[in-house]
Structure formats: C-alpha cells, structure tokens
A and B are shown apart, each in its own frame.
Chain A
Amino acid sequence: QSLPELKVMMFVAEVDRTYRASDYADPEWAYRSTHLLSTGVSALINGGAIEQEELEDWLGLSELNWPAYPPVPGVIDLTLGKQKLSRQQDFPEQPPAGWGAWDLPPLEAVRGSFHFHSREVTVPDGGNGEEMSYLKYWGTHATKKVWVLLNRRLTEDLEVPFLKIATKASTLDYQNEGTWYEGAINEATKVTLGDPEVVKLTVRAGENVSETGVVLDPLEANEGTFENERRYDVDLLPVEVKEVWSDQITGVEANGFPDKTGPNEYPYIFMGANTATTFKVKIKLAAEIPAAVRSQILFRWASEGVLEEFLPESGISTFSDGTIVQLSSDFNINVGRERFLVWAFDENKNGQIDGFESEVLIKMQHVRRGATTSIPCKFIPITQSDYEDSKKILLDWASAQLIQIPLRNSARHLIAFCKGTVPIYSGSESTTIKRNESGLSHPIGVAFRPTNVPGISFKATISKDHDLSKKLIRSNALRIWLAGEFNSVADGIKNDIIQERRNGDPAALLSYSITAKEKSLAFGVVDPDLLFCLGKVTFENPTIDFKVDMYGFVSEVKVWGLANDLYDFDREGEEILGYPARKASEVQAGFPSLGVGGKVFKTQIDMGGGNPYDDPNLTPYTFFPY
C-alpha cells in the first residue's frame, strides 16, 4: 500500500554572531539551537505563514511537540527581522539541573530571517511507514542554522545539497568533555571560514541524522543528556534553487520552474536563444550565498551522456546579488538538444567544473495535472539557425498548400505566423495574451513584459462571408455540436410538436432561439483546414435560431456568435501535419528574441447566422429520428 506522502519542512535561520560560549558546562549551542527552532516555528506562526493547528496537522502530530524550551509569546521581537533575546525574559522557568546559571549575557541581535521551505517526497511502497512520535530535527551552528522537520521516519535517504563553509572543530572541541571554549566569541575570536567544500546533507532512512552531525533530540535535551550533540561542528549553507526561468526576454519571468512552463504543464522549459550562440536563464536561490564564496558557486548546463551521466558544458554564471544568478551558455547549442541545470563548487577557482568537482543535478518540484514530482530542470533551447530553418520549411510548405491542397486558410495563418503579420484577407484588432492563456501550450511566442501584465498581440478577425467562417459553419464538427445542443432541448420541443399537431396544420413551423450550452468545439481530420488552422475554438455568445416542422426536422437554422482561437503550436502535439507542426513550435519559441516570426495571435470568427445544413445533400437534424 502507498504510504502517506512524506513532508519535510526546513528552516534556515541566520544569526549575526556566530556563538557565545558559556564558561559553564551548559551546552549553550544546543540550547540556542533549540531556542532558534522554537523561534523559527513561532516566526512562521506569528508571521502568518502557517497556523499552529495547520502546522501540527501538516506534521502529522496530534499536538505539536515543542522543543525543550518553547518561547514565551509576546517576548520575542521579530520586528524587521531583528530580535533581541534574553534568557531571563524568554525563559523564566528554572532550567533542568546541570544547565548552568541564567545570568549569561543575552544573545545579541539574532536576525530572525527565518526562511521557510517545504519539500514533498513520495516514499515508495515497501517502506516501514513508522510514524515519528516526536519531533526530530538537527541543527547546525554558526552563520546559518538549518533544521529539517520530518513528519515521519524516512524509508530511503533524502539528500539535500549544501555548501559547507566553515568548521568549528578546530575552535570548539566538543569531542572532549571539559575542554569548552571559555569566554565570549567576539569579532576577535570569531571563527574564520575554513576551506569550503560541497557536502550533501543526508537524512538517513530510519535515523534522521545528517552525514555531518547527529540528531539533537529535544526530548533528550529535556532530560539533560547531551552526549551526542557535542559532535556537531559544521556550518552548512544550502544551495537550493527556488526558481529558475528563461531570460529570453530580459527581465521577464514568464517561462520557468516551478509551475511556469505553461498551461499544459510540460516538465521542461522550451525557449528561444537570445542570440545565435547564447541562451540565458535566471536562477533564484532559497538562501543567500555569502559574497566570499559566490564566485566559486558555478551553475552550468549539462548534456546527458550515453551512460545517462551529465556532462557539464562551458558557460558563465554570475551572481547579481546573493540569491539571483544569471546563467548564459557558451557552447554550440546544436539543434533542439536537451540541456539540464547543474551546479558545483569550484574548488580550484578556475571558473569551470572539473572532474573532481562533482556537479549536482538540480531538481525542482513540478506539478502536472495535480500530481507533484521532483524532476531535473530540463531546457530545450532553439537556436537562430533552428528558427530560420524551421521558418523556411514552413513557408515553403504553406506556399505549396496555398495552391496545391485545400488548406488555404491554414496556409494563410501559417504564413502570417512565420512573417509576424496579420493573415491576408482578415481584419485585425489589438489584444493581449496572458501567461496562462487557455490554449497556450508553453509561455512562448508572446512578448511578455517584466510585470505580470499580459503581452500585446493582435486578433485576426474573420467576417461571416470569409471562407473560414463558411467552412466552420458547414463543418462535420459543428453539425455534431449542433446535434448535441438540439438533443439538450429535445424533450421540450417534442412536446411542443405534439401539442401543435393537435391544431391540425401539417405545414406548421415552430420557431426557437436557444443559447448553446457547450462552449467549445474541436475539429478532426474530416475538417482538415479547420483542424490545422484552428484546432479547436471556444464560442462566445453562441445562439441558435431555428424552426421545426411537424415531422421534427429543423430548418432555417442560423448559428450566431463568435468562435475564438489562439494560434499556438504544441511541440508535444500528435499532429497529422507531422514535421511542420513541430517546426512551427520552434518558430514560436524564437519570438521575439530571434525574429518577428512566431508571434502567437488570436483568431475571432463571426459565425454570422450561417446555416450548417445549407448543403442540399445534407439531411437536417430531426427530433424524431425513428
């Protein structure tokens, strides 16, 4: 059976000062870690990020099992992310025996910038599923504090990439009782950064311990047993990607992870390059990277090798501040090759990822059709040559269709799409397209702007006399749709006919006007020009006027309203057009950075009261089919 989804909550706390040691045998750091955890939870609750009940529910606990010393409400000052803590103020209770005196100087200027992260990990079937009866966490100590709260024991390892930036082991020897560092740590005695290295903080299945530390159990703390925690001696800085997005249009965050790959929720970012040789993305990190190590945090593209390994390629990643990174390619992108995002710590400071600097594949949460998965950050960049080649193929194809086969409306739309113009023989109006516009398979082909406002495009307006409108009215799909609408009112109309027959006039006609219930229509292969030109349409104010004779046959049918479509090419669509449809998606990806062609536009068709049964060979719908 499936186990409940594992939830992990991570707090990252920052403190201005690294540590104030006590000259007592009080494991101060443990106390403060505990304290900060409490503070972190409080900060979340007080800051409105999460309700206590919600947190308890989220953690799967009947009652939140607070760490050893819960904060006193109202005492903690989190204003502007600053707080001053006083043990006497915060914790008036008497500590357990062995905790030392309470007259320590207060911890100064704890910066309460508690970051909240959550991860959801699906544990596969077969795990032990044992629920944790109490809250476990671990903490590291110094400029960054990290706790991970699990709502139950893991049945498989969970790895979180971190950057280890300092070690205290040389300064504070927790391994040996009685060798505590005495005296406050101040600027003069502040721990200096050691040699940075990349570590993976691993929560072991069934244990909840990290590779670099041991469990700090608040329940044990309550009982005053602190053997294990003294071995904690590393600082871990999480290099966690919070967001990544295409920077195809400079400054516009419209196409990215998480959950911004378009309404179809494809698990990759499809994008045009910025120039003939480069494509760019921006990366937002969950926590700030200290300036001292930014130049050594390298983000790069990687291709998947034949052995499913990832091969980093050359590029440039630049921190614009502590959390935003721009990555630009510096290699031959080639045709439509998939790229993945990796990062590594540049130990030898040569600006590239060497073999020994093992890279970490960046994964993100991705939601598709309600299901959340963790997937690698995959990109499919379209180069200038891809764009130009695809455009040429399409224009050749469309030119042939204009004369060769009856797909002339499809051809006109396609030519306009490739050239960035309005389709010939149609009118146009200015319009806008949203990032999540219905029918937009990827958020590409629209010149979105930096703010969240929609991008500007145009609407091709088709009059009722236009061939496209006539085709729509006479299509097989529309007659099927119409039959559905007639069926929906059939019972009432049948009764009306029966009533009218009693008047004895066999030539009598009943008149109706109904508003259509079904507002969308998809075309199939039996309506090829409509399929390739429109795919499907949504109706605006669709009404149907018709008359019914005493035999139940409809006549003088008039369909009114507008049919709307978004001209977009789905790269993943199974298209009878085959190759050209995929090529069209590449042209769309290239707009606007690679050229004016590929702009997504709307089409609006006036149905104008056309009669779907105009063809004398067609048998009109009847309310009495047998």
Chain B
Amino acid sequence: MKSIIKLLFYLSLTYFANSEAQSASAEAFPLKLLGEAIEKGGLAGLNSYLDEGGKWPRITTDSFATKNKIINQIELVALSNRLVGLLRERAEEEPSSEINTLESEAMLFFALGEKLWRADGYRNRLVSLLCCDLASHRCGKIIILSRGKKMGPQRPDVFTVRNSGEMLKLFVKMIPENKGISESGLDDLLADAPVNGETWLEMIVAIRNIKLVESTVGNRFNEAVALPSSFLGSNIFKENIGALVFDYGWEQVMHESMLPALAVYLKNGGSLKTLLEEPTNATKFEGVMKNEIYHFSMNPVMSGIVNGDQIAGLVEAIQSPENLSQRLFGIKK
C-alpha cells in the first residue's frame, strides 16, 4: 500500500513538474528546438524531429494572431519564413535524374506538408500546399523519367478534395482568419444559405453576388473572392482565404488530372518535344490520347478538361527550376 501511495505521489509530482515546465516554455522552448532542427537538419531534420514527437505550432495570419493575443507571432512567422526559404531553395535546385532520389524527396515534401496542414492556421496551410506542389513536380519528373510507368509516392489524404462543397467548407472555416471578411458577416450568411456550384469557380461567382449591407461581396472583396492574382508563395504573406482555397483545389487537379494525363500521354508514345514546341496544337495531343481517356476533369476547381497546352505548361515547370520557382514565387527580382 505504501509503495502504491509512494508511486501515486511520485506520479503526481512528475505530472505537476512536467506541467509547469511545459507551461513555462510553451512559447519559447518548442520554437527554439524547431529552429535548431531546421538549422541542423534542414527539411529532413525538421521532418525527423516532428516524427519523433516534436510539435509544429499553429501559425496563422497577423491579424488573427493580434485578435487572439498570440504574443509570439513574430517568432512564429520567422520560423515559418525560414521553412519557406528552404522550400524556395529546393524549388530553385535542378531536380535529380534518379527516380529513387526523386521519390524520397517527394515523400519528404508530402510528409512535411501533411504535418503542417494538420498543425492548422492559414500560414501553415499555405506552406503545406507549397510542400505538396513541390512534391507533385517531383512526381512529374518521375513520370517523365519512367515514361509514365511510375507515378511517385502517394499523396496524403489531407490534400484530397472530393468536390467544391468541401472547398466551401474550408473557405468558411478559414474565414475567421481574414479580418475583413469575417467582420462582414459572410460566414454567417454562407452558413445559413450555402452557395451551390459544380466547381469552385462557379461558387466564387455565387459568393461574389451575395449582398452585404452596403454592397456585394464582389465589390467589397474584389481581390480576395476572385481567381488568385498572385503566386502561391507570395499568398503566404497575405491574408487571402480565396487564394488558399483555390490553391488547395488546384493541388487536387494537379494530382488527379494533370499528372495522370501526362503519364497516359507518355505511355502512349507521346513526344515531349511536340508537347513543348507546339503547345497550342491540341490535335497531336489528342491523336496520342484518343485511345485513352484524355478528358481529365478540372473539377472541383473549374470545369473543363486537361489538354495538351496545359500539360505542356506542367512539363515546363517540372523540367525547369526557373519555371517552377516562378510558378510558385513569381518572377525573381
């Protein structure tokens, strides 16, 4: 009995000691460790650290942080920026020509992306999509090297979007992070009367037409509720829920439509040279694809089918670090 009481006493002391330690260092200690993990091991080091039980903090927008009194937002953003910097460096590197190397790199990007997505917060999720996009391009390189026989690693489920309704859910959920939109009451309106549409693009049109007190959503949030006008990488530094949702959906299109279409094209003997040199000449693309399914859907982002011109754009980005970096971060100054 004594030993049991001793054990309980020991456990309670340990618990309180740990709680106190965690409370005291809740802000500083994990960030320091995360920073060290990045400094020492780069992206792989960070991923290993997180696999071993390390936690990545929720990182949101500055306005949401201010509203919720997150006092270490500056440190959190600095940490996030350090990660974005590493991802950018990877985007600007020439991709390997070894399928094994590409596979492990894609797996790393996917794994990091999944963890960031689960860590939640506007900023985390956009960086997560950046990881997913980089992984997709490495998968694309695998498809090219294997002439469509290999597709690269599986994409984590968190990036799967089944329909435009799921994109709307994400949009509404993320609205509190955008001060302007959240204060307009749009989230309440959408909760009461969800918009319909086969694609996210159609939903954007419907959302833009919603009447607020003084004007429509389109007039008041002309840039935020529209097709994104900036690059995924630069959206991280803004508060643009619309861009996040669009980029999220686009990752789905990339994996479910464009990469498989590229694989089918190559498996059927399609020429990369033709694709790149005559990108608007859809006839040859269809000539190669017509015995297979070429009408890969652009849903849930927008209606339409994948064509040779779009695949050409993807191949340009897969094969050229400059194009990939430009696609993600814009033209380098």
The chain A residues found within 8 Å of chain B, CB to CB, are 393, 395-397, 399-400, 402-409, 425, 465-468, 470-471, 474, 476, 525-529, 574-580, 582, 615, 617
List chain B residues, Cβ under 8 A from A406: 298, 302, 304, 306-307, 309-310
The chain B residues found within 8 Å of chain A, CB to CB, are 198-199, 201-202, 204-205, 208, 218-219, 222-223, 225-227, 229-232, 250, 279-283, 295, 298, 301-310, 313-314, 316-317, 323, 326-327, 330-331
A403 to B317, alpha carbons, bound, how many Å? 7
A617 to B202, alpha carbons, bound, how many Å? 22
Contact of B323 among A403, A405, A474, A578 (CB under 8 A): A403
Contact status B223-A396, CB under 8 Å = no
Contact status A580-B229, CB under 8 Å = yes
Given contacts A465-B283, A466-B281, A574-B218, A400 and B230 within 8 Å (CB-CB): yes
Given contacts A403-B326, A465-B281, A529-B304, A576 and B316 within 8 Å (CB-CB): no
Contact status B327-A527, CB under 8 Å = no
List chain A residues, Cβ under 8 A from B279: 408, 425, 467
List chain B residues, Cβ under 8 A from A468: 280
A430 to B305, alpha carbons, bound, how many Å? 33
List chain B residues, Cβ under 8 A from A576: 201, 204-205, 208, 226-227
Given contacts A396-B330, A408-B310, A467-B282, A574 and B208 within 8 Å (CB-CB): yes
List chain B residues, Cβ under 8 A from A405: 227, 250, 301-302
Residue of chain A at shortest CB distance from B329: A400
List chain A residues, Cβ under 8 A from B301: 405
Contact status A402-B313, CB under 8 Å = yes
List chain A residues, Cβ under 8 A from B295: 615, 617
A580 to B223, alpha carbons, bound, how many Å? 8
A405 to B200, alpha carbons, bound, how many Å? 13
List chain A residues, Cβ under 8 A from B223: 578-579
- State how many angstroms separate the Cβ of A214 from the closest Cβ of chain B: 49
Contact of A399 among B201, B205, B331 (CB under 8 A): B331
- State how many angstroms separate the Cβ of B211 from the closest Cβ of chain A: 13
Contact status B280-A579, CB under 8 Å = no
Contact status A526-B330, CB under 8 Å = no
Contact status A577-B310, CB under 8 Å = no
Contact status A396-B331, CB under 8 Å = yes
A536 to B205, alpha carbons, bound, how many Å? 18
List chain B residues, Cβ under 8 A from A580: 229
Contact of A525 among B202, B307, B313 (CB under 8 A): B202
A112 to B330, alpha carbons, bound, how many Å? 68
Contact status A396-B303, CB under 8 Å = no
A577 to B302, alpha carbons, bound, how many Å? 14
- What are 17 A-B residue pairs whose CB atoms fall within 8 Å in the complex? A396-B231, A397-B230, A404-B231, A404-B250, A404-B313, A406-B304, A406-B310, A467-B280, A470-B282, A474-B305, A476-B303, A525-B202, A525-B205, A526-B302, A579-B223, A579-B229, A580-B229
List chain A residues, Cβ under 8 A from B317: 403
Contact status A404-B303, CB under 8 Å = no
List chain B residues, Cβ under 8 A from A617: 295
Q: Which 9 A-B pairs have the closest CB atoms?
A: A578-B226, A579-B223, A403-B327, A467-B280, A467-B309, A526-B303, A425-B280, A406-B310, A470-B282
A466 to B219, alpha carbons, bound, how many Å? 35
A526 to B301, alpha carbons, bound, how many Å? 10
- State how many angstroms separate the Cβ of A75 from the closest Cβ of chain B: 65
Contact status A408-B309, CB under 8 Å = yes
Given contacts A400-B231, A403-B323, A465 and B282 within 8 Å (CB-CB): yes
Residue of chain B at shortest CB distance from A407: B227
Contact status B229-A578, CB under 8 Å = yes
- State how many angstroms separate the Cβ of B112 from the closest Cβ of chain A: 21
Contact status A525-B201, CB under 8 Å = yes
Contact of B226 among A402, A425, A579 (CB under 8 A): A579
Given contacts A526-B199, A578-B223, A470 and B314 within 8 Å (CB-CB): no
A395 to B330, alpha carbons, bound, how many Å? 10
Residue of chain A at shortest CB distance from B326: A399
List chain A residues, Cβ under 8 A from B226: 575-579
Contact of B229 among A393, A474, A476, A615 (CB under 8 A): A393
List chain B residues, Cβ under 8 A from A395: 331
Give the most central of A400, A402, A406, A615: most B CB within 10 Å.
Answer: A406
Given contacts A425-B280, A465-B283, A470-B307, A579 and B201 within 8 Å (CB-CB): no
A615 to B289, alpha carbons, bound, how many Å? 12
A468 to B304, alpha carbons, bound, how many Å? 13
List chain A residues, Cβ under 8 A from B302: 405-406, 525-526, 528
Contact status A467-B303, CB under 8 Å = no
Given contacts A396-B230, A397-B230, A578 and B225 within 8 Å (CB-CB): yes
Contact status B308-A467, CB under 8 Å = yes
Contact of B327 among A397, A400, A529 (CB under 8 A): A400
- State how many angstroms separate the Cβ of B155 from the closest Cβ of chain A: 18
List chain A residues, Cβ under 8 A from B283: 465, 470
A209 to B279, alpha carbons, bound, how many Å? 75
A476 to B323, alpha carbons, bound, how many Å? 32
- State how many angstroms separate the Cβ of B135 from the closest Cβ of chain A: 16
A500 to B44, alpha carbons, bound, how many Å? 73
Residue of chain A at shortest CB distance from B206: A525
A492 to B230, alpha carbons, bound, how many Å? 53
Residue of chain B at shortest CB distance from A397: B229
List chain A residues, Cβ under 8 A from B230: 396-397, 400
- State how many angstroms separate the Cβ of B268 from the closest Cβ of chain A: 16
List chain A residues, Cβ under 8 A from B208: 574, 576
A407 to B246, alpha carbons, bound, how many Å? 14
List chain A residues, Cβ under 8 A from B199: 525-526
- State how many angstroms separate the Cβ of B74 from the closest Cβ of chain A: 28
List chain B residues, Cβ under 8 A from A526: 198-199, 201-202, 302-304
- State how many angstroms separate the Cβ of B324 from the closest Cβ of chain A: 8
Contact of A403 among B198, B303, B316 (CB under 8 A): B316
A402 to B310, alpha carbons, bound, how many Å? 8
Residue of chain A at shortest CB distance from B257: A406
- State how many angstroms separate the Cβ of B274 from the closest Cβ of chain A: 13
- State how many angstroms separate the Cβ of B54 from the closest Cβ of chain A: 32
A527 to B307, alpha carbons, bound, how many Å? 14
Given contacts A406-B304, A576-B205, A400 and B222 within 8 Å (CB-CB): no
List chain B residues, Cβ under 8 A from A425: 279-280
List chain A residues, Cβ under 8 A from B298: 406
- State how many angstroms separate the Cβ of A80 from the closest Cβ of chain B: 57
List chain A residues, Cβ under 8 A from B280: 409, 425, 465-468
Give the most central of A425, A467, A527, A576: most B CB within 10 Å.
Answer: A467
